[in-house]
Amino acid sequence: MPDQAVSSNAIVPGKPNRLVTESTVVRIALIAIAAAFLVLFLILPLVAVFQQALVKGLNAYFDSFADEDAQAAIKLSLYVTAIAVPFNLVFGLAASWSIAKFEFTGKSFLLTLIDIPFSVSPVVSGLIFILLFGAQGYFAPLLRTLDLQIVFATPGIVLATIFVTLPLVARQLIPLMQEQGVGDEEAALTLGASGLYTFVTVTLPNIKWGLLYSVLLCNARALGEFGAVSVVSGHIRGLTDTIPLHVEILYNEYNFVGAFAVASLLAGLALVTLAVKSLLEWLYADDLAASAGH
């Protein structure tokens, strides 16, 4: 996702130039079409989550979380996310450092590999781990000797979640670090700073906002991953059900208030993620304007 800097050639209100912009009527019509489309397809579904969750009042809403299975699902999701997000954070930092700060052959191939999880169907992402670790999988004999269970258990859910969210941090940081170049780091190193010290005091402050947003997005996606996790989890209630899988169970049992109440946790998290992103873009745009004035 490219960051959206405010366009420098945006129309300034009060100074319309008929030759290089549309007439007021056309502009209002286009804004209305865009707004109607976004409200109908994106905002209404979001509102529906909270409306359906609260349709029977606050008590029914909070009762949905008292359920033992719901609590087990929330705990499992938090556990999986607590492993997947740091893992992808370290991978993202290593990948972006090596790809953005150095020139080497085979770089574009590496970038393609990093992108693969984005272009694979979530269901296929789960399927590949079944093929490796399932009862008839390629590693099944080895797992039997070691008495390990990976799919239909927590390790499989962790693996599938890591796979699906792997590109998120790397993809956000690589363009950012490429744009910043190596000048700052070279200066610090020439002045005698160690490699690690340079990374912590020069590189990290430069990328902190991109890093923060990508970690938040990775967090939201890890908690909410459905397709891949659904294939490897085995759906054992109270044991291998994550939050989105529990939402599915409740929904299919026609417990709509329960389903939407649990879903509202994830929707709330998505809202926080988007709010932080907008805030960062807003502040970031101000920073850009300040530096352009020098």
Q: How far is the CB of 133 from another protein (least distance, A)?
A: 9
**Quick one: which H or E segment has residue 266?**
helix 256-292
Q: How far is the CB of 131 from another protein (least distance, A)?
A: 4
**Residue closer to another protein (CB basis): 68 or 104:** 104
**Residue closer to another protein (CB basis): 82 or 187:** 187
CB 224 within 8 A of CB 243: yes
Q: Which two tokens stand for residue 120?
A: 């694979």
Sign of CA dihedral 62, 63, 66, 67: negative
C-alpha atoms less than 13 angstroms from C-alpha of 223 in its C-beta half-sphere:
19
Q: How far is the CB of 132 from another protein (least distance, A)?
A: 5
CB 232 within 8 A of CB 130: yes
Q: How far is the CB of 250 from another protein (least distance, A)?
A: 9
Residue identified by tokens 């329960």 is 258
What lies within 8 Å, CB to CB, of 272 at 6+ separation is 216
Cα-Cα-Cα-Cα dihedral of 216, 219, 223, 229, to 10°? 130
Q: In this structure, which amino acid lies at residue 72?
A: A
**Residue closer to another protein (CB basis): 5 or 82:** 5
C-alpha atoms less than 13 angstroms from C-alpha of 218 in its C-beta half-sphere:
31
**Residue closer to another protein (CB basis): 199 or 284:** 199
**Residue closer to another protein (CB basis): 3 or 63:** 3
Q: How far is the CB of 187 from another protein (least distance, A)?
A: 10
**Residue closer to another protein (CB basis): 105 or 145:** 105
**Residue closer to another protein (CB basis): 2 or 293:** 2
What lies within 8 Å, CB to CB, of 247 at 6+ separation is 259, 262, 263, 266
Q: How far is the CB of 92 from another protein (least distance, A)?
A: 10
Q: How far is the CB of 234 from another protein (least distance, A)?
A: 10
Rounded to 5°, angle at Cα 261 from 266 and 277: 25
